[in-house]
Chain A
Amino acid sequence: MSSASPIVESGGRIYAIALNTLREARRHRVIHGIAAAAVAVNLFAMFLGDMSLGNEARVAVDVGLAGVSFFGSITAIVIGVMLLYSELERRTIHTVASKPIARWELVVGKYLGMVLTLTLLLLLFTAAMLVLLWARDVALTSVLVRSLVLVWLEVIVMAGVALLFSSFSTPFLSGMMALAIFLIGRTTPDLAAAAERADVGLVRWVSEAALYIVPDLHLFSPSGRPVAGDAVLSIHGNFVSWAYVGSAAGYAALVIIAVVGLAAVILSRRDFS
C-alpha cells in the first residue's frame, strides 16, 4: 500500500475510475456514430454557406457552433445515461465497489471520465468546425473561443444531469428526462416570459418552479439574448466578455456539484444486487 495522504489516495482511485470510463466510452459505437454525424453536419454547412449569398461566414459560424453544441449535448446525454447504467446492469461495478473505494469516489470518477471523453469529442467537433471555417476564410477569434468554452460548459452540465438520472432510472427514461431538461433549460427566457404573462396561476407556478429546478442552459448559448437594457449578446459582434464566461463557469460548477453530489447520495444508498 502507498503511504500517500488520504487526498492523494482518493485522487488516485478517482483517476483510475475516470481513466477506465474513458476507455469504455471510446468503445461505444453510438459515440462513433455521433462523431461521424457531427463531421457530416460541417460538410453540410459548407454547402449551406454556398447558398447564403454573402453571409457565408455568419452561416458557417452559426451552423458550426450549433453543431458542436447539439452533438456535444446529445453525446453528453448518451454517455451520461449509458455508462453508469451499464456498470450496474452488467455488474462490472461489483468488482470495483467491493474494493476500498467510496461510492462518491466512484461517481466522481465516472463523471470525470465522462468529462474527459466529452472534452476530447468536443475537440474533434471543433476541429471539424475549424476546417469548415477555414474553407470560408473565417478566422478563429477569441469570440469563437469564448463561445466554445460556453458550449463545453453546457455539455459537461448535461453529462452531470444525465448521470444523476441514470443513478436511479433506466437509460431510456433517463435519456428522456435529460432531453426534457435540455429543452427546458435552453428556453429559460421564454419560460420566464410565460411566468410573467400567465393569467392562470397554475401556469405561472409551474413555469416559476421549472425556472428554479432546471439549470439555466441559456446562459451557455447567449446568441441574441438581450441583457442590461439594450445590449444584445451576439456571437458575431460584441460578444460576451471573459468575465461573463467566468460567471457562467461558476454557475456550471454549482450545478455540477449539485447533480453529481445528488447522484453520489443516491448511489451510496443503492443496493448493487
Chain B
Amino acid sequence: MDVIEVKGLAKRYPADFLGRKKTVAVDGITFAITSGETFGFLGPNGAGKTTTIRMLMSLIAPSAGTARIFGDPVPSRRARARVGFLPEAPYFYDYLTVTELCDLAGRIFGLDRATRRRRAEELIERVGLSHARKRPIRKYSKGMLQRAGIAQALMNDPDLVVLDEPTSGLDPVGRREVSDIIADLRRAKKTVFFSSHILADVEQICDRVAIVVGGKIRDIGTVAEVSRRDAAVATDVVLDVAAIADDVKEELRAGAGSHRHQGDDLVLTVEPGADTSALIARAIDAGAAVRRVTPKTPTLEDVFLRRVRESRVQREEKS
C-alpha cells in the first residue's frame, strides 16, 4: 500500500486587494510513496516543496487535488498519529528543554507518562543531545535544534517520518549527523519523506527522488533512473592542439557548447544534439590529435539544473 498518495495537489494564493497577481505555489502534483521507501523531494528555493509538505501535514488547505496518508484522506488525525514531522527551520518553544519538548509531543500523541519518559530518554540519547538535556532550547546551535526537532518527531515511533529541509543551514558535521539519523530510520524500515535543495544529501540517502520546480514535478524515479532519463548527453572531446592555428582553435571552441584547457590540451564539451563527429573531423583535418572522446555520465545535479533551466525557459515563454 502507498504510504503517501498525492493526486493533482495544488495551492494557489488569490490576488490580494492591491491587485498583485495570484501565486501558484504548487501546481497539480501527483506522486506516491510506498512503505519503507526513502523519498527525496528535491527542488530549488520556492519550488513548492514546503507548501506540499504543509498540505500533507494539514497545516494548510489545498486549493485542489487530494492527498492520502496511510489511505486516510488529509486532513486526518488518525493518519497524523502515525507520522513524525520536522518543520522547515523549526522554531520550538525555546524556553523548554529537549526533555520537556519531547514530553509535550508525547502528551499530544497520547502516550502515558512512563512511555513518554522512556521514549524521550532513548531519543535524546540517539540524537546525541544527552549532554544538553537540561539546557533550554534557545541555547542550542542550529544543528542541535534540528536534532531536538527530530527527537520530538520520533516520540510516537512513527511509521512515516516527514522532514522538511532537515539539513538546510547546517555545517558539514551537522549535515552528516542528520544524514546518519535518516540512514538509521531507513535501516529501521521507516518510510522517510524529506525535502532538500542539497543534491548530495538526496543522492546518498534516497531510494527515489522527485524534482520539483515551479510547483510541478519535473522528474521522478530512482536516482539512477532520473540521471539516465536524458538519453542525449554531452560529450567531452580532448584534443592536442599544439600543431593547429589559432583561428582553427577559435572555430573549434565556437563549435562546442563550452570548453576548458587541461595543460596544453583543449577540452571541448559538445552539447547533446550538436554534431560531434563533424567537430572531430574538422580538428583532425587541421592537424589536431584526438586524445579522448568521453560521453559525460549525467549526474543528478546535471538533470536537476537542466530541469530548473527548462522550467525558467517555459515561464519566460509564457510571460
Contacts and interface: CB of A to CB of B under 8 A. Distances in A.
- A and B: interacting chains: yes
Interface of A: 1-2, 4, 9, 12-13, 15-17, 20, 23-24, 27, 90-92, 94-102, 269, 271-273
Given A13-B110, A271-B60, A20 B81 contact: no
9 contacts: A23-B95, A92-B92, A94-B57, A95-B105, A96-B108, A99-B109, A100-B77, A100-B110, A273-B54
A269 B60 CA distance: 9
Nearest to B164: A94
Contacts, number: 87
Given A24-B95, A95-B92, A101 B59 contact: no
Given A1-B110, A16-B104, A95-B87, A273 B60 contact: yes
A95 B77 contact: no
Given A27-B95, A91-B87, A92-B92, A99 B54 contact: no
A39 B262 CA distance: 80
Interface of B is mostly: loop
Given A91-B91, A92-B93, A100-B78, 14 more contacts: A1-B110, A2-B111, A12-B110, A20-B104, A23-B95, A91-B87, A91-B90, A92-B91, A94-B54, A97-B57, A98-B87, A99-B85, A100-B110, A273-B59
Contacts of A2: 110-112
B190 interface: no
A272 B111 CA distance: 26
A116 to B, nearest CB: 16
Contacts of B85: 95, 98-99
Contact of A1 (B90, B104, B107, B109): B109
- 6 A-B pairs with the lowest CB-CB distances in the bound complex, closest first: A16-B107, A271-B60, A98-B57, A100-B81, A272-B59, A94-B87
Contact of B58 (A9, A15, A16, A98): A98
Nearest to B85: A98
Contact of A15 (B77, B81, B93, B107): B107
Contact of B91 (A13, A27, A90, A269): A90
Contacts of B78: 100
A26 to B, nearest CB: 8
A97 B75 CA distance: 11
A271 B104 CA distance: 23
Interface in B51-98: 54, 57-61, 77-78, 80-81, 83, 85, 87, 90-93, 95-96
A167 B227 CA distance: 47
Interface of B: 54, 57-61, 77-78, 80-81, 83, 85, 87, 90-93, 95-96, 104-105, 107-112, 149, 152, 156
Contact of B93 (A24, A98, A271): A24
A169 B92 CA distance: 22
Contact of B54 (A4, A17, A101, A272): A272
Contacts of A92: 91-93
Contacts of B110: 1-2, 4, 9, 12-13, 100
B93 A101 contact: no
B192 to A, nearest CB: 16
Contacts of B54: 94, 271-273
A92 B57 CA distance: 14
A231 B312 CA distance: 79
A9 B106 CA distance: 12
Contacts of A4: 110
Q: Indicate the member of B85, B93, B152 with the most A CB atoms within 10 Å.
A: B93
A109 B47 CA distance: 35
Contact of B107 (A13, A269, A273): A13
A158 to B, nearest CB: 25
B262 to A, nearest CB: 49
A152 to B, nearest CB: 26
